[in-house]
């Protein structure tokens, strides 16, 4: 100990204090109990160069409709034809930081929190674990995107693959492209414990794969001044043409409850909602997901065989400013809503 102490004679006490704080504050992995440690030791080891969730959750990048050329504008933020348009006059607040509760049981999918808008302003809808509507269903979060000078809300949806959600880094596996918090494996959901909290006493279908940390954006909208410039990948465009299920009734009720709580409104909490994540899961009394609908199953099989889903692409509009990006995968971005992005040992 004396040698250690004498090694820092010139360091001021303040600097030493900062070193100690940094050593403790930067250790962002959550504490693990013995059961969780044993469960982590028994998880499937993932190849560092391959992320099974990244491959499984994005649609095959095969599309019959050619991507827009450099002289053809693509209104990626235009509303879908069957989408009820909801607009806001200004951008939503930055995303808050919050901890994710543990997945309560198998086959729950994380739906991240988001800012929603009513006539008097924005309010925060807490993130929640939602029982998947059917085996193989994945959640594409909603997002705000600038369109015709206003901010348009694109509703989230359930489908066999994750679509475009504005490049928003919602965290907890939603890095801006796809979902890396887990994937469906032989009829059950396998969770990536490097970025997802689970209850190890009841969830044993897990693996661990690192998510590279590049930056920590908290931007909550796409386009416009200060917004993200992400454009849909071809795989995300394919996913947008698939058969979708809108937010479940339990999710809609969850949003309605948030709107009735004044402490969730940005005008009251100044961007720091009292409840950022729901402590109770959303399942509407269901114990397990339904079987995948035959129409969805058939569509997935056709995609695997190289056939694109038959659906109209998004409309074009002269006010679109930038063409679609190509299918090159961007660098992974840090998940801003977690304090435990670093892989567990």
Q: What is the pLDDT of residues 67-77, one digit of tens each?
A: 544 333 446 67
CA–CA distances in Å: residue 163 to residues 66, 75, 103, 241, 270: 18, 16, 23, 9, 30
Question: What mean pLDDT is reported for the chain?
Answer: 77
- Return the higher-pLDDT residue of 66 and 312: 66
Q: What is the mean pLDDT of residues 36-46?
A: 33
Q: What is the mean pLDDT of residues 28-54?
A: 46
Q: 193 pLDDT exceeds 90?
A: yes
Q: Quick: pLDDT tens for 125-180.
A: 999 999 999 999 999 999 999 988 899 999 999 999 999 999 999 999 999 999 99
- What percent helix, strand, coil does the chain show, rounded to 5? 20, 20, 60
What is this structure's pTM?
0.74
**pLDDT score for 24:** 31
**pLDDT score for 83:** 62
Using a pLDDT cut of 90, give the percent of the chain over it. Answer: 59
d(CA 279, CA 230): 32
CB 302 within 8 A of CB 238: no
Q: 118 pLDDT exceeds 60?
A: yes
**pLDDT score for 345:** 34
């Amino acid at each position: 100990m004396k040698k250690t102490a004498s090694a820092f004679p010139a360091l001021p006490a303040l600097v030493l204090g900062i070193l100690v704080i940094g050593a403790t504050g930067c250790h962002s992995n959550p504490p693990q109990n013995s059961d969780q440690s044993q469960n982590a030791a028994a998880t499937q080891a993932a190849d560092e160069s391959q992320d099974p969730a990244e491959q499984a959750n994005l649609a095959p990048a095969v599309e019959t409709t050619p991507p827009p050329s450099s002289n053809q504008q693509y209104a990626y933020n235009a509303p879908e034809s069957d989408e009820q348009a909801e607009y806001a006059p200004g951008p939503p607040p930055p995303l808050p930081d919050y901890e994710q509760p543990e997945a309560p049981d198998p086959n729950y999918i994380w739906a991240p929190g988001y800012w929603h808008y009513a006539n008097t302003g924005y309010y925060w809808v807490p993130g929640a674990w939602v029982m998947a509507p059917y085996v193989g269903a994945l959640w594409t979060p909603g997002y705000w995107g600038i369109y015709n000078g206003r901010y348009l809300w694109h509703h989230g949806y359930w489908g066999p693959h994750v679509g475009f959600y504005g490049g928003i880094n919602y965290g907890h596996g939603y890095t801006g492209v796809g979902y890396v918090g887990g994937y469906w494996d032989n009829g059950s959901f396998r969770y990536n414990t490097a970025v997802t909290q689970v209850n190890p006493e009841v969830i044993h279908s897990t693996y661990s794969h690192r998510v590279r940390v590049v930056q920590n954006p908290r931007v909550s909208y796409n386009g416009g001044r200060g917004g993200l410039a992400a454009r849909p990948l071809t795989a995300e465009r394919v996913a947008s043409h698939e058969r979708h299920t809108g937010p479940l009734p339990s999710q809609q009720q969850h949003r309605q409850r948030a709107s009735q709580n004044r402490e969730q409104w940005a005008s009251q909490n100044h961007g720091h909602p009292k409840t950022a994540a729901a402590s109770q899961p959303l399942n509407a009394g269901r114990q397990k997901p339904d079987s995948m609908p035959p129409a969805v199953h058939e569509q997935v099989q056709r995609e695997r065989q190289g056939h694109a889903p038959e659906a109209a692409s998004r409309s074009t509009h002269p006010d679109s400013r930038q063409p679609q990006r190509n299918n090159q995968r961007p660098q992974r971005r840090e998940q801003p809503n977690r304090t435990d992005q670093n892989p567990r040992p």
